[in-house]
Chain A
Amino acid sequence: MNDIVPGSDDDVLSTAAKWKDEGREVALATVVTTWGSSPRPVGSQLAVDGDGNFSGSVSAGCVESAVVEAAAEVIANGAPKLLEFGIGDDQAWEVGLSCGGNIEIYVEKIE
């Protein structure tokens, strides 16, 4: 059972590389800061392809859909983006962390 577990940290990076090798557009999202209680630690990653398929996690599922949307933009224009999520911000009603923490997520395109 030393095969890579789907969704594990190893799997996120190898999935990103595999997608890239297949000719797909790929973005990588990384949790770079957390304040308060956050479900996934700093360094947690999510790979997204051009069709919105994703592997890994940056929260307990709360903000992944918003990150996938932002990844589409990053893939389209190539410029990295820093996203911020927290219970206190304007998007809290729509997309937020119900745990009450704050996180910053860096989204970049694999070139």
Chain B
Amino acid sequence: MKADTLRAVLEAREAKRECALVTDLESGAEMMVAQGKAEGALEIGDGLKAEVDAALAKGESRLVEDDGRRVFIKVLVPRHRLAIIGAGHISQYLTTIAGVAGFDVTVIDPRTLYASPQRFPGATINHDWPDEALDAFGLDRGSAVVALSHDPKLDEPALATALRSDAFYVGALGSRKTQALRRERMKGEGFTDADLDRIHGPVGLDIGALSPAEIAVSIVAEMIDVLRPEKKGYGKKQSA
């Protein structure tokens, strides 16, 4: 691979754009394809172009045959994004653990004392009110929202914005009683039971988590749990 092609791939990653790296395994020639940009020497005919588009749509790398050649299509999709509402102790661990798991994390809390660079080194921090901050964040089907402030003034506007979006995961901290009270309030705002069923709360997989770090692990596990349902059960003994 040419170093210039590699740099073009990294630029697309930096710009959070999906891209495909297409390599002819016989000749070694390659081409980087991203929206509105291409870099490399490999000629891509209509048949291969359709294969590349299909791989990008699926978000999965694959080997294809093209005119008797073996061509590998490496798909690079932007990382999943996580918006955390509230900059408390659990949020600090969630920022770290979700970051290690590959999520691009933004911490949202108007309280500058909590959401400080000292407490969240390296994280993207937004001090706007949560609903405004989420509008700017731009929730899509690759996004998750976790409300951890434990303050309805902060959590509920964020949850309302999340429920109106395609976010793949919406979670909220709080006991069953807190969840039930919130449900009643949000129903009063016009949300249906089906809408509110999207909220994972009490947040996180039920693994007996106790410490802030353990709760963060359970939340990351639950986000992954809903991310790829089609992969679940693979290689596992099925329980009756």
Answer whether residue B137 sits at the interface, using C-beta atoms and an 8 A cutoff: no
Chain B residues whose C-beta falls within 8 Å of the C-beta of A2 in the assembled complex? 99, 104-105, 122-124
- From 12 to 49 in chain A, residues with beta carbon under 8 angstroms from any chain B beta carbon are 13-14, 16-17, 20, 28, 30, 32-33, 37, 41-43, 45
Report the separation of the CA atoms of residues A108 and B208 in the bound assembly, to the nearest whole angstrom.
Answer: 47
Instruction: List 29 contacting pairs A-B, 8 Å CB cutoff, sorted by A.
Output: A1-B95, A1-B96, A1-B100, A1-B105, A1-B120, A2-B104, A2-B105, A2-B122, A5-B100, A5-B102, A8-B102, A10-B13, A10-B79, A13-B6, A13-B13, A17-B10, A20-B6, A30-B72, A30-B74, A32-B25, A32-B72, A33-B63, A37-B235, A41-B61, A43-B61, A79-B28, A108-B28, A110-B2, A110-B6
B99 pairs with A1, CB closer than 8 A: yes
Closest to B7 in A: A17
Report the separation of the CA atoms of residues A41 and B102 in the bound assembly, to the nearest whole angstrom.
Answer: 16
Report the separation of the CA atoms of residues A14 and B7 in the bound assembly, to the nearest whole angstrom.
Answer: 9
Interface size of B by CB at 8 A reads 35
Residues of chain A having any CB pair with chain B under 8 Å: 1-3, 5, 8-10, 13-14, 16-17, 20, 28, 30, 32-33, 37, 41-43, 45, 79-80, 82, 106, 108-111
Report the separation of the CA atoms of residues A108 and B124 in the bound assembly, to the nearest whole angstrom.
Answer: 36
Residues of chain B having any CB pair with chain A under 8 Å: 1-3, 6-7, 9-10, 13, 23, 25, 28, 60-63, 70, 72, 74-76, 79, 95-96, 98-100, 102, 104-105, 120-124, 235
- Interface residue from B1, B63, B96, B121 paired with A28 (Cβ < 8 Å): B1
Main secondary structure of the interface of A (DSSP, over half): mixed
Chain A residues whose C-beta falls within 8 Å of the C-beta of B63 in the assembled complex? 32-33, 42
A108 pairs with B23, CB closer than 8 A: yes
CB distance from B30 to the nearest CB of A (A): 8
Closest to B101 in A: A5
CB distance from A99 to the nearest CB of B (A): 9
Report the separation of the CA atoms of residues A89 and B100 in the bound assembly, to the nearest whole angstrom.
Answer: 36
B104 pairs with A42, CB closer than 8 A: no
Given A30-B74, A42-B61: A16 in contact with B6 (beta carbons within 8 A): yes
Chain B residues whose C-beta falls within 8 Å of the C-beta of A14 in the assembled complex? 10
Chain B residues whose C-beta falls within 8 Å of the C-beta of A3 in the assembled complex? 99, 122
A43 pairs with B74, CB closer than 8 A: yes
Those 4 A-B pairs whose CB atoms lie nearest each other, nearest first: A1-B99, A43-B61, A80-B28, A32-B72
- Interface residue from B3, B102, B235 paired with A110 (Cβ < 8 Å): B3
